[in-house]
Amino acid sequence: MKNKDKVLAAFLVSMGMFSALQATKYIASLSDADKNALVPAAAASNDGTVTLLCSTDWPDTNPKKA
Amino acid sequence: MVTRLSGFVVVPGYACNFFCEHCVAGGRRERGGLSQKEMRLVTDAIARYKVRSIFFTGGEPSLYIRKINRILGGVDQARRLNVTVTTNGWFATTPKRTVDKLMSFSKLDSVQLSYDKFHKKFLPEGNVLNLFEACKKLKKRFSVVMSVQSPLDLQLVGPLKKIGKFTIGIQHVLPLGAAKTNGLGYKRQSFDKQVLFERCPVRGKIAYMPGYGFSACCIAPEIAGRGKPYFYPTPEKLLESRFYNLVSRHTFKEIGKKLNISEADISGENSSPCMVCAEMFAKAGRLK
């Protein structure tokens, strides 16, 4: 598994989208173009500017901080 | 002793000039918004509970600036209030128009733009840039909230990051409102039981929705079905309610136990705190 795939899988797990196993399978199924388009989001997640919010229309509700 | 509330979400009205197919308020198209009496109730609640942060959502709040300014004008401590508006950014067609619109709020600290593949159908990317620049000029905080239906929707983050440095909050589309009708809710591959050990992420906050009342939950109209069982005419009634006490003090596992809902009864199609909570209360029926 390439390093980029690992980073993207970890990003999707941190966004609450998949379990680690599911994320790995999902990333493996993507085309290179789709993976590359996700890279900026994963990078922004590392610098803290992309965060997961509670799934409602209440602003500023990060479930991990709740 | 009067409880201090950490945040107060106010829906000034449900009208919106976009028609997003995933909108949680998509099923509610009442246009009038808060009545005079409701605005007084909201103003009183802000003062009495020493609310520090107020969030105006919708509908589209910028269609209700007069009502918002009347509410803020009625609060003595308005200067100490932190005011956030969530907008679809429709007005940000030129830099000047954007600045003028933001300045028409009597008090505004933060702007949260809803932008995702659904809003993108109505909102040119230029509006995002105008709003970001206007917030920078006026020294307001700017952020984006992005609803995602599938992981690939996150590809929109890249173009946004080219506009400037700001926070992007990611939300999963909940199968509620128009998203439910259109089958657009985020679907997980399996139920994540870990969610049962979480607590309501918005506990300590309250909401006011016109025509409904005060609640601890902004999706209460959806979980309530017909009638308004999870809404209360005053904050006091809400804070005394069994509903408020359950969601503000307990994990979802504990709530399920108290409502006699077994874990096996939870479908868990969406393992988000809100949907698990909604499913439990819907199964439990109206609380006494």
DSSP string, B119-144: GGGTS-HHHHHHHHHHHHHHT-EEEE
Residue to test with chain B: of A39, A54, A62, A64, most B Cβ within 10 A: A54
**Count of CB pairs separated by less than 8 Å, A with B:** 127
Q: Do B55 and A50 touch (CB under 8 A)?
A: no
- CATH architecture of structural domain B7-284: Alpha-Beta Barrel (3.20)
Tens-digit pLDDT profile for residues B35-58 = 999 999 999 999 888 888 999 998
B203 DSSP assignment? T
How would residue A63 be classed by pLDDT, with cut points 50, 70 and 90? very low
A39 touches chain B (CB under 8 A): yes
- Return the structure tokens found at A39: 């890279």
Q: Calculate the average pLDDT of chain A.
A: 81
Q: Which of A58, A9, A66, A49 is nearest to B169 (CA)?
A: A49
- Cβ-based neighbour number of residue B32 at 10 Å: 11
Whether the predicted pLDDT of A60 surpasses 70: no
**How far is residue B66 CA from its own chain's centroid?**
20
- Most confident of the ranges A32-46, B1-15, B208-222: A32-46
* Residue-wise DSSP of B213-263: EEES-TTHHHHH-SS-TT-BSSHHHHHHSHHHHHHHHSBHHHHHHHTT--G
- Cβ contacts of B161 on chain A, cutoff 8 Å: 40, 44, 49
pTM over 0.80: yes
Fill in the amino acid letter for B25.
A
Could you tell me which residue, A2 or B285, shows the higher pLDDT? Answer: A2
Contact residues, chain B, for A15 at CB < 8 Å: 148, 151, 154, 170
Q: Is residue B232 within 8 Å of B216, Cβ to Cβ? A: no
Closest among B176, B281, B185 to B231, alpha carbons compared? B281
pLDDT digits (tens, 9 = 90+) for B138-186: 999 999 999 999 999 999 999 999 999 999 999 888 887 788 888 888 8
First-to-last C-alpha distance (Å) of chain B: 25
Chain A residues with CB-CB distance to B171 below 8 A = 52-56
Candidate from B25, B158, B202 with C-beta closest to A58? B202
CB A26 to CB B207 under 8 A? no
Determine, for residues B174 and A56 on separate chains, whether the beta-carbon distance falls below 8 Å: yes
Cα–Cα distance for residue pair B248/B57, rounded to 1 Å: 22
